[in-house]
Structures are given as structure tokens and as C-alpha cells.
A and B are shown apart, each in its own frame.
Chain A
């Protein structure tokens, strides 16, 4: 079946512009996660959606970052007023959660964001 998909695969933007990154999770997965992978910081958790519960936003690095998940499926990560330190690969993952809260997470291919 289809895995987690992300778009765009690459995004180059100018400093100060806003960007939106999209994630389509695996059908039926109720949990969705965003992570960031950068050279200096490794793999960092950003935000976690679980069903209809309030998202865990504890990993968002600043108030310029926000995410939403519409209809319990597709998610959009928005970065406002991008800075050069936002350059990274943004990874989305999804997992089954109900009845199997320790299920493994399946990752998408990522969006490589470059802020010039």
C-alpha cells in the first residue's frame, strides 16, 4: 500500500518568506508526527497529533512554526518569516495508535528546505 507522502520534495525560499510543507499519512493511521533533521541538531521532534486530542507542540522551536491536521488526515507544517537556521529536512511520520500505542512510526521521504 501507499506509504507516507510529503510535498514538495525540495523547497528553496528566501529569508523572511513563509513556507508550507504537506504530509499525507498512511490511511488509517491516527497518529502523525513532524521531525526535523539538520546537520547540527540531528533528528528533532517538532509536533505530534493523536486523533482528536490536543497536539503535543513541545518540540516546536519558535512561534514562527505551526502545524495543523485537517480531518484527522493530511497535515501542514507552516514556517513563517523563514530564517537560514530553518534549513533542514522536515520529516513526517505516521503510526497506528489506537489499541497499539507502541506501534512503530513510518516515515515519509522528507522535504528538504533551503532558506537563502
Chain B
């Protein structure tokens, strides 16, 4: 069965520092991976996706993610965090048309 794991419930980082939000996946076949962000009282917003090609995917708001097939990981990264990046982040894998989400990671960026 397809699944996604986000091992950290919360990540804390100081503004200006680099951030990483971890995601690992388990799929049969080629993985189609996504990152979404959810700000308080708002719906999910698409950040980026990996379908094929370059292992480093660039997305919205300066975020990027690195696909690592051998480690079955798709970690979200940003070189310099902003306080406004504080939100709930979801990793997802597409399976039979629908998205299967990880449990979510709360990112707290402190000034």
C-alpha cells in the first residue's frame, strides 16, 4: 500500500536559518510526490511536485524539495526561513488519482 510519513510533528527554526521538513514514502512503481502548505483557517495550497526528471524541484515562495530514490525521501527545504513561513506542511503521494497525505508537520519560525 502507498503511504507517506512525516516523522516530525513540529519543526522550530530561527528566522534566516535554513529549514528542512522531512518526508519519506512507500510506493509501488514510480512515485508522484507533492508538498502542500496550510495557513491557519485556510485551505491547502500547492507548493511543488516531483513527477520525473531533476531530483531538485523548485516551488512557490522559495521552497524546494529533494527527491532521493535510494532513501525514499522527499524533504522540503528553504535556504532562509521567514516568520511568515510558519504553517502546517503536508507531504503527499498520488495513488490511483487521489492524494495520500502524511500526518503533517507544523513549522514554527521564530524572529
List the interface of chain A (C-beta within 8 A of B).
4, 31, 33, 35, 42-43, 45, 48, 50, 56, 59, 91, 93, 97, 101-102, 104-110
Contact with A along B48-80 (1 / 0, CB 8 A): 010100000000000000000000000000000
The residues of B with any CB-CB pair to A shorter than 8 Å are 32, 34, 36, 42-46, 49, 51, 90, 94, 96-104
- Evaluate contact between B34 and A104: CB separation under 8 angstroms: yes
CB pair B99 A91 closer than 8 Å: no
Report if A109-B42 is in contact (Cβ < 8 Å); known contacts: A56-B96, A56-B98: yes
- Chain B CB within 10 Å, residue with most, of A31, A59, A105: A105
Once the chains bind, are A110 and B103 in contact (CB under 8 Å)? no
Contacts of B96 in A (CB 8 A): 56
Q: A91-B43, A108-B43 are in contact. Are A45 and B100 (CB under 8 A)?
A: yes
**Cross-interface CB contact of A42 among B32, B42, B103, cutoff 8 Å:** B103
* C-alpha gap A45/B104 in the complex (Å): 15
Contacting residues, chain A, for B103 (C-beta < 8 A) = 42
Return the contact of B44 from the options A59, A91, A97 (Cβ within 8 A): A91
Q: Chain B residues with Cβ under 8 A from A110's Cβ?
A: 43
Q: Which residues on the A side are within 8 Å of B49 (C-beta)?
A: 102, 104
Contacts of B44 in A (CB 8 A): 91, 93, 107
In the complex, chain A residues whose CB is within 8 Å of the CB of B104 = 42-43
Task: Return the contact of A107 from the options B45, B98, B102 (Cβ within 8 A).
Answer: B45
Bound Cα distance A91, B42 (Å): 10
Q: Would you call A56 and B97 a contact (CB within 8 A)?
A: yes
B34: which A residues are within 8 A, CB to CB?
104
> Separation in Å of the A51 CB from the closest CB of chain B?
11
**Can you name the residue of chain B whose Cβ is closest to the Cβ of A92?**
B43
